[in-house]
């Protein structure tokens, strides 16, 4: 599922939208608040979409269409694939039509949609680099109903980790923790039951995949970054985060550098919910 053209610029997107085979556009604006303070209103992605979106884009709800309900398998478990397929078809997604996904700029939610579509067999999915803030064209407020697509999700045999697989990979290959360093070290934990990391995992914060402008680093710089973290030819790589969203961004960055990686979707929200699973703290993997 590695692709060298996993990312598209705003200028490239503008050109393709006027071409012979324009991509289906998915707007996946979403935010996760780490604050536990009472009374903080949740981010409303649909309201943001209705206030203005790239012309032709269809809104996709990460919590409802790219994940199933929170539970023992984490905050954003895999969606039911039949329901996911139906949501993608409603959004106009077909197997023979390219798809471009964007969000509000962080590219975490867009990467989750990219990963799900790629893992379930769509051959041509890209993420808008830097998200909506990079778009210089007009916006529209009209909510369109696209023609039904024909996409049928077919999960790949590789690319997905469960808790046991992540633990094994931390010993036999390279397991990257995409969360902020202080959460990896166990100094703070604003959401989950306990702080720390999966024993053997290496800290690799997602925000280091992008430059000061919010766009992904060039492929060569990404490759150098991952090499410094322990990636080498033949290394089997997995990534996790808090709930399988920002880790998808890391898988996307790896793909842009030509490096295959698997995603532990349950991530720390699943791992830490089971008191029998070991937890490491501090700056070292062990």
DSSP string, 33-94: -----TTPPPP-HHHHHHH-BSTT-EE--HHHHSS---BTTBSSPPPPHHHHHHHHHHTT--
Among 216, 220, 230, 218, residue whose Cα is nearest residue 261: 230
Domain boundary pick from 99, 134, 169: 134
Residue 3 has pLDDT above 50, yes or no: no
How far apart (Å, rounded) are the C-alpha atoms in residues 144 and 67?
23
**Given 117, 161, 178, 241, the catalytic residue:** 241
C-alpha to C-alpha distances, 135 to 10, 25, 26, 129, 194, nearest whole angstrom: 5, 13, 14, 10, 39
Mean pLDDT over all residues of the chain? 94
> Does 252 map to a domain?
yes
Q: Same domain for 169 and 126?
A: no
Q: For residue 5, name the pLDDT band (cuts at 50, 70, 90).
A: confident
Alpha-carbon 87 to chain mean position: 18
Q: Same domain for 99 and 19?
A: yes
Q: Same domain for 107 and 209?
A: no
> Does 150 map to a domain?
no
Q: Over the stretch 173-193, which tens digit does the pLDDT of each residue have?
A: 999 999 999 999 999 999 999
Catalytic residue at 107? no
Q: Over the stretch 106-162, which tens digit does the pLDDT of each residue have?
A: 999 999 999 999 999 999 999 999 999 999 999 999 998 999 999 999 999 999 999
Determine the 3-state secondary structure of 150 from DSSP: coil
Q: Same domain for 51 and 167?
A: no
The CB-side HSE value for 83 (13 A sphere, CA atoms) comes to 13
- Domain count of the fold of the chain: 2
CATH at residue 198: 3.40.250.10
Q: What is the mean pLDDT of residues 74-101?
A: 97
Range of the domain at 118: 7-134
Q: What is the mean pLDDT of residues 217-243?
A: 96
> Does 154 map to a domain?
no
> Does 83 map to a domain?
yes
Q: Same domain for 42 and 94?
A: yes
How far apart (Å, rounded) are the C-alpha atoms in residues 261 and 281?
24
């Amino acid at each position: 599922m590695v692709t060298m053209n996993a990312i598209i610029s705003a200028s490239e997107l503008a050109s393709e939208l006027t071409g012979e085979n324009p991509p289906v556009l998915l707007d996946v604006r979403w935010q996760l608040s780490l604050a536990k303070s009472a009374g903080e209103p949740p981010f409303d992605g649909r309201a943001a979409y209705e206030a203005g979106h790239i012309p032709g884009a269809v809104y996709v709800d990460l919590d409802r269409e790219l994940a199933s309900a929170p539970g023992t398998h984490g905050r954003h478990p895999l969606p039911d694939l039949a329901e996911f397929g139906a949501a993608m078809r409603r959004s106009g997604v077909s197997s023979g039509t390219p798809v471009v996904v964007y969000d509000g700029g962080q590219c975490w939610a867009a990467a989750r949609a990219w990963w799900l579509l790629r893992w379930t067999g769509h051959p041509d999915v890209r993420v808008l680099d830097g998200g909506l803030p990079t778009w210089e064209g007009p916006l529209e407020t009209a909510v369109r109903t696209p023609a039904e697509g024909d996409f049928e999700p077919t999960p790949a045999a590789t690319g997905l980790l469960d808790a046991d697989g992540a633990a094994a990979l931390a010993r036999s290959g390279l397991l990257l923790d995409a969360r902020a360093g202080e959460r990896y070290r166990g100094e703070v934990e604003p959401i989950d039951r306990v702080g720390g990391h999966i024993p053997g995992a290496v800290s690799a914060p997602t925000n280091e995949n992008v430059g000061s402008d919010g766009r992904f680093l060039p492929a060569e710089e990404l490759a150098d970054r991952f090499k410094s973290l322990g990636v080498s030819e033949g290394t089997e790589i997995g990534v996790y985060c808090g709930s399988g969203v920002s880790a998808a961004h890391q898988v996307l960055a790896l793909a842009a550098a030509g490096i295959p990686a698997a995603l532990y979707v349950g991530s720390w929200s699943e791992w830490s919910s089971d008191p029998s699973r070991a937890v490491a703290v501090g700056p070292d993997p062990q």
